[in-house]
Amino acid sequence: MNLLDRIKLGPWLLVLIFFSCETNDEGLEIKIHSNTRVDYLELNLKTTSLIIDSLRTDENESPFYEPRVVVGNYEDDLLGNLSATAYVEFAYVGGSQVWSSLNFDSLIFKLKRDQTLSNDSQPGEKLLLFPIKGEIYSEVVYLSSFNIERDSLPVDTLIVNKQENQNLSRQPGLADYIFSVLGEDTLRLGFVSQLAITSMAETKSLLTFDMLSDSTEFSLYMSDDSLNAFRADFRFTGTHFSEVNRDRSTAVFGQPDDLDTVSVSDEFTIINPLHGVTTLVDMEPFVDFIQNNQNIVINKAEMEIDIDTSAGNPLEQIRYYYFRENSGIRGEGVLDDPLNTLMLTNDGYLTGQRRILVGAADSINYMNDITIFTQIFISKYEEEAEFLTEKLVLTSDRFIDLYETRVNSVKFKIYYTSLN
């Protein structure tokens, strides 16, 4: 059963039969070819900041795809303090079949740094590599609260290069660790190992790394007594997750529980996935409107989210999840029941495909055409006396994101025609 099979269209069918639909670069519009009056409604929707502690941080297939990990520490005056550790898996992928009796020459360990958030005007830090005592599994969903026990001492230290977005190690520690795992065997295809990457306690920066980037380089250089050179190449497999610890003892809202609403500022609400703070939008004004206005057709509807960019970079993209008081949002519903989980694109509703609506930030706002969502919202109430949702949660389109959006206001703009 696809999405369209589950939609009771009701008076929406009249639109498809009697009126023409057109699409343009700005989205879908329904044009009524008669003298019928088109009315305009603009609603200001109330927003509050909401605590959602669950944060998925593992890499998986779309729509849960996160190639990034996060490492470091950061102090936030409003939201509290963060510390993060990455757990990653790497595998031997080619080059020489080296063995432990060879002489170590050098190790190049290069990662693509994606984002940086720092309390220091010149961010830079040392990263520590620890062997882990457990195992990371590719099929498991990892939330930010999960951790794996690691050894008490690191096997190597990596220096973050401020200019080159890379880490370089010339020490034999990681090489020694690889050969301690290998034992007397020869390094060959099929060799896999896992590490925890963390930072020094005094570090004041958070860094994200794209573990699947083509810029990643992990190579071991060795030689024998005759000075013959050997090189072994490794790649990160994509099996990874990030542990994120939140210390809210210094936050402006104290120590709230999951799904509590909090006050961050009188001027704005916040969407910050790492801190577990997001924005809740109350649809009550629209609910009241459709309860008092039956048999209407939506010509066009837009949601405009005004944002404050003075405090830094906003999230590049956001999603619009449905919110339920007892259970919050259902991330897994994107796979098995997207129609009742989050907003889709107009085309997604029309084609019955899982095409998630994504709001892209420009200089002042996120703007989305939500015409068909709005019509389905109305039709569901008229047919079943139920609402798709009475509140929306605005979340980042990415699990691991150091940016933050400050929401000033949310407007719901609707052009509609009454069929009575």
In the chain, where the domains are located: 4-52+258-418, 68-247
pLDDT score of 223: 92
User: What's the rounded mean pLDDT across residues 335-354?
Assistant: 90
Three-state secondary structure call for residue 400: coil
pLDDT band at 5 (very low <50, low <70, confident <90, very high): low
Tokens in use for 312?
Answer: 């830094």
Report the percentage of the chain scoring pLDDT > 90.
Answer: 53
Residues 120-132 have pLDDT tens digits of 766 567 889 999 9
pLDDT band, very low/low/confident/very high, at 103 (cuts 50, 70, 90): confident
Q: What are the strands, taking DSSP E only, across 200-331?
A: 205-210, 217-223, 229-247, 261-262, 269-271, 277-282, 296-308, 317-322
pLDDT tens, position by position, 368-389 = 999 999 999 999 988 888 888 9
CB 267 within 8 A of CB 29: no
Task: Identify the pLDDT of residue 163.
Answer: 52
| Confidence label for 15 from pLDDT (cuts 50, 70 and 90) | very low
How would you label 148-167 residue by residue, b for 16+ Cβ within 10 Å and e otherwise? bebeeebbbebebeeeebbb
**For the whole prediction, is pTM greater than 0.75?**
yes
User: 24 falls in which pLDDT band (50, 70, 90)?
Assistant: low
- Work out the average pLDDT over 333-347: 89
Average pLDDT in the chain? 85
Q: Which of 79-83, 165-169, 186-190, 362-366 has the highest mean pLDDT?
A: 79-83
How many whole angstroms separate alpha carbon 10 and alpha carbon 196? 55
How far does the chain reach from its first CA to its final CA, in angstroms? 33
* pLDDT value, residue 64: 65
Peptide bond preceding 11 in cis form (omega within 30 of 0): no
Question: Does residue 226 have a pLDDT over 90?
Answer: yes
- Confidence check: pLDDT of 41 > 90: yes
Which pLDDT score, from 0 to 100, does residue 13 have? 40
Q: What is the mean pLDDT of residues 234-247?
A: 94
Confidence of residue 353 (pLDDT cuts 50, 70, 90): confident
Q: What is the mean pLDDT of residues 336-361?
A: 91
Residue 17, pLDDT score:
33
Tokens representing 370?
A: 């939500």
pLDDT of residue 119: 83
Is 60 a residue whose pLDDT tops 80?
no
Q: How confident is the model at residue 181 (pLDDT cuts 50, 70, 90)?
A: confident
- Residues 6 or more apart in contact with residue 218 via CB below 8 angstroms: 90, 108, 109, 110, 233, 234, 235, 236
Angle at the Cα of 177 from the Cα atoms of 203 and 209, rounded to 5 degrees: 40
The label of the residue with tokens 């004004």 reads 285
**C-alpha gyration radius of the chain:** 26
Phi and psi for 374 in degrees, rounded to 5? Answer: -65, -40
More confident residue, 120 or 308: 308
- What is the pLDDT at residue 188? 82
Provide the pLDDT confidence category of residue 31 given band limits of 50, 70 and 90: low
Mean pLDDT of 196-219: 89
Give mean pLDDT, residues 158-180.
69
Instruction: Quote the pLDDT of residue 166.
Output: 52
**Whether residue 99 has pLDDT greater than 50:** yes
Residue 145 CA to residue 258 CA, distance in Å, equals 13
- Phi-psi region for residue 223, left (φ > 0), alpha (ψ -120 to 50) or beta? beta
- Going by pLDDT thresholds of 50, 70 and 90, the confidence category of residue 171 is low
Mean pLDDT, rounded, for 17-32 = 47
Domain topology for 4-52+258-418: Jelly Rolls (2.60.120)
Q: What does the longest C-alpha to C-alpha distance in the chain come to?
A: 92
